[in-house]
Structure 1
């Protein structure tokens, strides 16, 4: 497999020429290093490791870690969400299933749910599109978050903590 440095810079194939001129490079993120993307506190007992921001599609990818027994408040997604459980377990208060390592979760736009971590906590990779609405216990909308909110979450934390902004996270 060729590395970026070994890829041809010219081609007689017109599609390949356009790809070389306008395509994006492949990206490898070593997530074991905080300089790549740190764990950033989000809500009480939850942390995000941002892995991609796509402003053109109002989409982002992130790893969510939730401490044992913590929860992510009542929320609604305005777009599709896909998740893969990496560690631990979690459920939605509104359902009777528990997501465990290797499970895939597909969430539909418009559904309101409350994420509850199992006693061991959880870590899950999510792809998210559109916006995320949070509600209080009386079902009042308290906050709406989109890709720009998450970019600010990431960049503000990095600037405050002297961590360089990783341009590879931006698509």
Structure 2
């Protein structure tokens, strides 16, 4: 038997019972897999995030302090200096973005990895701004131009951001977003 796997074996497109011994527990306790339509506003609307940006919330996991969304900065602009207390994984979907603290520019398809303890200032100079898909864990602290603490966003802040917007606009809160 080779120690190098080239591709998972598959010879038919059908559901296979793998005999997982805890399936009944998974069925009872897991929220299950789900699909969130990020292309339309059916599963989640764009929620304003300042005057020139919006967020499409995709997932909230209060057990692990994880949240996922698409940040859309609609034109050239800045998301102020912030400090991450958890790990961030983002993919540039459209436009481009950079951080003042680094010498790279992210373009569509580019992966951005951020680790706890880093602070940076997000800037898009692209004429159409940027859309970033993010999977984020832990709080994000925001600071003003003098380095003074302004606010903390975390999974609870993002849930409130989403739910407050939905209530104010008569939009049903989507239970699929909660893991």
Q: Give the distance between the partners of 1:29 and 1:91, measured in 2 at CA.
A: 27
Q: Give the distance between the partners of 2:164 and 2:130, measured in 1 at CA.
A: 25
Q: Deviations over 1:51-95 (max 9, x none)?
A: 000001111001011122111011011000000111110000111
Matched length: 166
Q: Give the distance between the partners of 2:101 and 2:21, measured in 1 at CA.
A: 52
Specify the SS of the correspondent of 1:119. Answer: coil
Unmatched runs of 5 consecutive residues or more in structure 2: 1-12
Residue from 8, 13, 17 that aligns with 2:24: 17
Which residue pairs with 1:54 in the alignment? Answer: 61
Which residue pairs with 2:102 in the alignment? Answer: 95
Specify the SS of the correspondent of 1:152. Answer: helix
Q: Give the distance between the partners of 1:13 and 1:149, measured in 2 at CA.
A: 37
Specify the SS of the correspondent of 1:75. Answer: strand
Which residue pairs with 1:155 in the alignment? Answer: 163
State the Cα RMSD in Å: 1.9
Specify the SS of the correspondent of 1:32. Answer: coil
Of 20-29 and 104-113, more deviation after overlay is shown by 20-29
- Name the CA shift for 1:162/1:139 in 2 (closer, same or farther; >3 Å): same
Q: Deviations over 1:34-55 (max 9, x none)?
A: 2311111112311100000000
TM-score between the two structures when normalised by the length of structure 2: 0.86
TM-score between the two structures when normalised by the length of structure 1: 0.90
Which residue pairs with 1:84 in the alignment? Answer: 91
Which residue pairs with 1:119 in the alignment? Answer: 126
The alpha carbon displacement at 1:129 in A equals 0.6
